[in-house]
Amino acid sequence: MSSFRILSFRSLVGALILFLSLASNAVGGDAVGEVRAVMESVTDWYEAVGTIRPKTASKIEAQVTAEVLDVKVRPGDRVEKGQVLIILDNRPLTSRRAQAISALESAVAAKNQAHQGVAAAEAAFNQALAQVNRIRGFFRSEAATAQELEAAESTYRQAEAGLHQARAGLAAADAGIRGAGAVVRESEISLGYAVITAPEEGEILGRLVEPGDLAMPGKPLLAIQTGRRLRMEAYVREGAIVDVAPGSRLSAYITATGQSFDTVVEEIVPYADPMTRTFLIKTSLPAAPGLYPGMFGRLRIPVEVHSVVVIPENAVKRVGQLEIVEVREADAWVSRYIQTGERHAGGIEVLSGLSGGEILRLRGDE
């Protein structure tokens, strides 16, 4: 049993020596130079999930209730200002316009008749006035009786009332013409609403109706982006909102295209969502190729700057899960185990094993 233990111990020592020998050989290699481990300031980033949205978008709605006959555009189509987008059934509107025109014609005819009535009433009034004046003269000279005077004055009063009534009828006819004319103009405007056109140059984002659907005021028919400018909207946790203000410069990363853009905060909605405890932030985006509303992205917000040790990646040798560098100590190179972190523009971050300032050996086999 004692011999077995001694043999096992010798085997373990031999395996350890073999491993260290292999590691030493792995650390070896052709040296191509030296480098100093340096301290660099790096920024910690908070990433908020965002969505690309158009900066200026609107919904196209109908101004009248009518059946959709034709939709001439689809999502992605570019449209010019005034271009026909949707055609509605105008038959009910045409019928209403015809009825309005007929009512206007009737009002004009009524006014002509009222004019004739006024002319007849004025003639009767003038005749009654002349008669009553004549009878009054006769009565003063005792050539007419009181009964004749009373009859003449009664006829005069009736003629005067008839004239007032005729003139009121003419005024009513004028009002009827104005009302009928307003209905005609309204029906013509409504008839024009049967053809829906683009309010501005833009791009169709969504088609919300099909032929046969009923269009009505308040019901969106199309979604249109009226400008080429885009923005990223992201929800940022309340702990990171203190690092953001309107005008802040951030970074936006679009996952699908792999593009990164510098972006400026344009708007911060000044209240948090009580369910998620996040704030909505809106930032600018350039009109770059490949960017479309609805795409996924990340908004990167700097939250802290700290110092880390950074070394070139070809100063690190990996043996299995181990990361090893060679550090100059006096006149010798000594292997040291390290733990690395994120990659930076100047190399790779060292989390442990180096404190900065050490001279490292560069390898040419990396």
pTM: 0.51
Q: Is residue 204 situated within a structural domain?
A: yes
Q: Tell me, yes or no, whether 216 and 232 share the same domain.
A: no
Tell me what pLDDT residue 190 has: 86
Could you tell me if 128 and 74 lie in one domain? no
Q: Is residue 13 part of a domain?
A: no
242 and 113 housed in the same domain? no
Assign 3-class secondary structure to the chain: CHHHHHHHHHHHHHHHHHHHHHHHHHHCCCEEEEEECEEEEEEEEEEEEEEEEECCEEEEECCCCEEEEEECCCCCCEECCCCEEEEECCHHHHHHHHHHHHHHHHHHHHHHHHHHHHHHHHHHHHHHHHHHHHHHHHHHCCCCCHHHHHHHHHHHHHHHHHHHHHHHHHHHHHHHHHHHHHHHHHHHHHHHCCEEECCCCEEEEEECCCCCCEECCCCEEEEEECCCCEEEEEEEECCCHHHCCCCCEEEEEECCCCEEEEEEEEEECCCCECCCCEEEEEEEECCCCCCCCCCEEEEEEEEEEEEEEEECHHHCEEECCEEEEEEEECCEEEEEEEEEEEEECCEEEEEECCCCCCEEEEECCC
- Do 96 and 186 lie in one domain? The reply is yes
Q: What is the mean pLDDT of the chain?
A: 84
User: What is the domain-level CATH number for residue 208?
Assistant: 2.40.50.100
The verdict on 112 and 125 lying in the same domain is yes
Per-residue pLDDT of the chain (366 residues; tens, 9 = 90+): 333 333 343 444 344 333 444 444 444 445 568 888 888 888 788 889 999 988 887 889 999 999 999 999 998 888 888 999 999 998 988 888 888 898 888 889 988 988 898 899 889 889 989 888 888 888 888 888 888 888 888 998 998 898 899 889 889 888 988 998 898 888 888 888 999 999 888 888 889 999 999 999 999 999 888 767 889 999 999 888 888 889 989 989 998 988 899 999 999 998 888 998 999 999 998 878 888 888 999 999 888 888 889 989 888 999 988 999 999 988 889 999 999 988 877 789 999 988 888 999 987 654
pLDDT on residue 9: 38
Residues 78 and 111 in one domain: no
Residue 162 lies in a domain: yes
Domain boundary among 305, 328, 359: 305
Question: What is the CATH number for 147?
Answer: 1.10.287.620
**70 & 128 share domain:** no
Do 182 and 96 belong to one domain?
yes
Q: Are residues 149 and 120 in the same domain?
A: yes
- Is 5 part of any domain? no
Whether residue 294 lies inside any domain: the answer is: yes
| 108 and 182 part of one domain | yes
Q: What is the pLDDT of residues 302-329, one digit of tens each?
A: 888 888 899 898 889 999 889 999 999 8
Looking at residue 257, which CATH number applies to its domain? Answer: 2.40.30.170
Considering the domain boundaries, does residue 17 fall inside one? no
Domain termination residue (choose one: 177, 192, 207):
192
Sheet order of strands, 220-225 included: 57-61, 220-225, 202-207, 78-79
Count up the domains in the chain and report the number: 3
pLDDT tens string 85-95 = 999 998 988 88
- Asked if the structure places residue 127 within a domain, the reply is yes
Domain assignment of residue 42, yes or no: no
Same domain for 247 and 183, yes or no, is: no
Same domain, 217 and 270: no
Domain carrying residue 247 = 47-55+227-305
What pLDDT is recorded for position 23?
41
Q: What is the reported pLDDT for 217?
A: 92
